[in-house]
Structures are given as C-alpha cells and as structure tokens.
Structure 1
C-alpha cells in the first residue's frame, strides 16, 4: 500500500495480519461494542465486530532519506510473552526487498517506541550473534524511551527484547538517541506522545503544504478514537495515554492530514461528539 504527502512517499509492508484475537490488547473492545461503531466496518473490523489489525513497517521516502518506521517482530527471537512471536521464520525481508526496499538501501531506522512488535527486525541472528539488519542505517531511538528500557527492563520478556533487538544496535555504535520532539529532516518532526510507553513518539510529516501523521501506538485501533479511555493493556500509563489520544487526535481532527496507525491503515480523523471517528481511505 502506498500513500503520498507532498514529495514524501509512504509504503506499508506487512509482517502479520489478524482478524480478532486482539482482546488481550483491548479487552473493552468486545464484538458488541465494536458493532455500535458502524464506521469501523469493513476497513477496521468485520461484520461480527472482530478487529482487523496488522504488525507492519512504514517505509518513508523523502527527497533525501529512506526511512523504515518500526520493524515488527523479527525472526529467531526468544522469550516473547506471546508464544507465536517466538522463533518466527517469516520472509519479511524478502517482501521488503520485493517492495523496493532492500535492507542495505535503508539509511534510517526510526522506532516510535521500543516494544517487542516495533523493534524485532532491528537485528538478525548471524553466527549466533545479533547484528544490525540495516547495515547502512543509523537507528533513531527516543532518548527517554531508550534510557527507560535500558534501566527498567526487569521482566524477562522486556529484558529479552532489549537484549536482542536494542542493545546490539547501541553496542554496534549505530544508535542515535534524540529528544522526543526532534526534527529529523525538512519534512519530518517527532511529536512526544507518552503514555503507551514513557518516551513514545509520533511522526509528523509536512511537504508541499500537505501533512501526515504516523501515530505509532497512541492507539492500537481506531475504536480508541471513539473510546479515548480504552487504554491498551500494554500501556505503561493508561491515564496518560488517554490524555495523549485526546490531545493528538484533537490537533489533527477535521483536517486533510493523512493519518496512519502503528497497527491500522490510513484515514482522516473527524470530530464526533466528545470524541472522534476515523474515516478510511479507500
């Protein structure tokens, strides 16, 4: 899937798609509640009210940069708390290359945050060692986010993720730790959006008078635009994440801004009552 914002091109490359099986992330999003939001169907849920979600990377091409935003689950990883996320053998890099983005052609890896399903392809296993997948790229991590997980990855699954997908990048001297509001290029500025994780960042794109927003995991699904208080079980601060959703979606509501989620497709945010709805593109 491709979208454009001025001179910036965005391509989505999927690692994993699901329909349903999302209650562990959004327990309040029951089938019955989702069916009360008809604008979600068919793009973001099916007729039964089961959520459609994906784990994907977004490739952002500016006139001067080739950026991969978030890198999914990865292969050969251990210690994940979702059993099917362990020891994966997925041809994601082949799909990436087929889409025109061979790993060596990427110059920037940008992680909105450092959770398991956003950092996995940062590294690959070669000769028993974790090495950077994107050999010619700088890896951009939020400084707040990196330092939090470096110092607080006490749970086994968090320790595993940092140890195999983040620390090897820093050890290789390829990590750039940036403020959560850093400007990365003429077209790309980060927006601090904490709550899902302590240093979570969203990505604001501006080019030729057009705007785009890559939300990351401010919301896992558009149903959270209607129910701002439906915080994910993975949110480190559920109250802060709800505040962030209201502020971020309020900033871009009723504008032509192209909005793409960390786990859902593109659309436009519209005001609806005291909250919002999401109108799919195509």
Structure 2
C-alpha cells in the first residue's frame, strides 16, 4: 500500500499532492478570521497550516484517489499544467509531475473510472484535461466526470446573466478567469461525451454518495463515504483552514454566498461530530483530515487522520 494511503471499511484512500506551499496571507484567505484566534492556536496551526512570521496561509493542491467496489475514483483534479489563470498568477503556467505522481500511486490515466469535481473552481478541475494535438482533451479517457449541474449553469460563459455583480476587483478578476477554466477544463469533457451533470444527490456505488452542499459555489458538493463502521466526508472547499472548524461562521474569500456557505459548513460539521465522520477537505496540509467534536458554539479537532505530515516534495508554480 502506498505510504500516503489509509483504508476505511472497504475503501482505500490515497493522497496525491500536485503542489504545496504558501498562498497569500491567512487573513486574506479567511478574511472574517480574528488574528487572536490564529495566535492562540499557533502551537498546532504552525507550521503545517500557517506561518506566523509572515502570516502566510499554507495549503496543498491535491487529489484524493479512492478505490471502491473495483473502481478507481478521483476526487478533484487540481490546477493542471500550462493554464492561463489571471485570477491566481501564482498558478499561471504551472508545470508539475502530477501524472507521474498518480502513476506512483498505481493509477494510470486509463485506469480511472470516475472523476468527481466537488465544484468548478480552477484548482479542482484542472487535470480534467490536458493539452494534446493542439487541443484540450480529457486526461482520463475511460472516466465518467461527475460535475454539479448548478455550477455548470453558473460558470458557463453563456450564462453570465445568472451571476450577481462582483463584490470587488478581486472577484471580478476571478470571474473573468472562470471563463477560461470552463473552456479548458469543462467544455472539452462535455464535447467528448464523458460529463454527467447531477444535482441534489448522486450515488456512485454502495459506499459513496455525492450530496449538494451549496454556498461556496451554487453547486458545491460533498462526497460521503459509508463502509462498514467507518464514515468520512470529502468536503471540498467548505473548509480552507482548520480555524473554520473553530469558528464555522468564518468564510474564505472565495465563498460566493456568504450566509449559505456558513450555514452549510456548520451543518456538516455538526453531522460529522455526531456520526464521527473523518472530515477530508481539499486543501489541508499536515495530516490532511480530522475528526471533529462539538466545543461550545463551535467545534474542535478531536483526532487527526493517519496520513503522514511530510508529503513528497512538490514542484513550484513554474517547475
């Protein structure tokens, strides 16, 4: 079994990291957050999630590989190589050995049966496609790509009228960049006939169920795992940082509907605490996932997952 794997019930989960490092500052990524909370929890937030000296927010861009009922399932596909990304210049023209890392986890592109995009943001759909023969084509030729219908409607460049006006210049640039994301990472999968648009809920197999979890984006979703006595939930960008476990009302700067995002976050943390689900966000470094418990009006980390904290060295934004 690869070093970066755990087993829950009959499902094997392997962590494949595309990129790791600092992005902006903690207070930029979680603008609602209180500096005092970061400082009070510095002992365990640093250095995996936060660098106090420069207030840097630290994250992984990663894919969760699931093996369930004989199928290989990818949860989110990272940034991708050679993309135009004005909304995040740090990842423009990214070049990593992501496909080699998948192969090191015993996953060749043709082996993948299902790709889950928890939502349509640049760092969750990038390796849906690759540039080949002068065109963007699906990276995983035999896979069904599960894409939330509401996000598809929202981010389709033909549906600009469905969006509210951007709140600020940062959001305007993000929305302009999302058109590039749709055109290079979503539309080619549809043209190939490999996309399935779903809403409400979608069962993948007896262990895995996709559920709508709107707020971060209109179509944001979670993937719940139930196998034997084990429980887990892949929450995508519902949690960018563990400080949001402590204070669920704190949104990231990327959340679309702030009220709904906070309500959804609290509801899923409450369920995870009650059912003892392992909470697996898209971007946490360190152990990558945790069990939570209720703690007053918020929640707390009760146990970390068994993934090692020293992930493999990752290529920087340009190689």
Q: Which moved more, 1:263-272 or 1:23-32?
A: 23-32
Number of residues paired by the alignment? 282
Partner Cα distance (2:117, 2:200) in 1: 11
Structure 2 unpaired stretches of 5+: 162-174, 307-319
Q: Which moved more, 1:194-203 or 1:246-255?
A: 246-255
5 Å-filtered alignment, 1:43-58, equals 43-45=48-50, 50-58=56-64
- Counterpart secondary structure, 2:93: coil
For residues 22 and 56 of structure 1, do their structure 2 counterparts lie closer, same or farther at Cα, with a shift above 3 Å needed? farther
- Counterpart secondary structure, 2:218: coil
Of the two structures, which has the highest relative contact order with CA contacts closer than 8 Å and spacing of 6 or more?
2
- Counterpart secondary structure, 1:66: strand
- Counterpart secondary structure, 1:215: strand
2:151 matched to 1:142?
A: no
2:294 alignment counterpart: 271
Please give the per-residue CA displacement for 1:160-192, whole angstroms capped at 9, x wherever unaligned.
000000011011111011123111111111121
Aligned match for 2:40, one of 36, 39, 43: 36
2:8 alignment counterpart: 5
Return the TM-score normalized by structure 2. Answer: 0.83
2:166 alignment counterpart: none
1:281 alignment counterpart: 305
- Counterpart secondary structure, 2:203: coil
1:251 alignment counterpart: 271
1:240 alignment counterpart: 260
5 Å-filtered alignment, 1:1-282, equals 1-19=4-22, 21-23=24-26, 24-29=28-33, 32-37=36-41, 38-41=43-46, 43-45=48-50, 50-150=56-156, 151-152=158-159, 155-264=175-284, 265-278=288-301, 279-282=303-306
CA contact (8 A) 1:31 1:50 kept: no
Return the TM-score normalized by structure 1. Answer: 0.93
For residues 245 and 135 of structure 1, do their structure 2 counterparts lie closer, same or farther at Cα, with a shift above 3 Å needed? same
CA contact (8 A) 2:69 2:205 kept: no
- Counterpart secondary structure, 2:225: strand
Q: Which moved more, 1:100-109 or 1:15-24?
A: 15-24
Partner Cα distance (1:86, 1:177) in 2: 28
2:316 alignment counterpart: none
For residues 130 and 94 of structure 1, do their structure 2 counterparts lie closer, same or farther at Cα, with a shift above 3 Å needed? same
Partner Cα distance (2:47, 2:276) in 1: 22
- Counterpart secondary structure, 1:90: coil
Q: Which moved more, 1:172-181 or 1:49-58?
A: 49-58
Structure 1 unpaired stretches of 5+: none
Give RMSD over aligned pairs. Answer: 1.9
CA contact (8 A) 1:103 1:135 kept: yes
CA contact (8 A) 2:29 2:57 kept: no
For residues 222 and 172 of structure 1, do their structure 2 counterparts lie closer, same or farther at Cα, with a shift above 3 Å needed? same
CA contact (8 A) 1:211 1:258 kept: yes
CA contact (8 A) 1:75 1:124 kept: yes
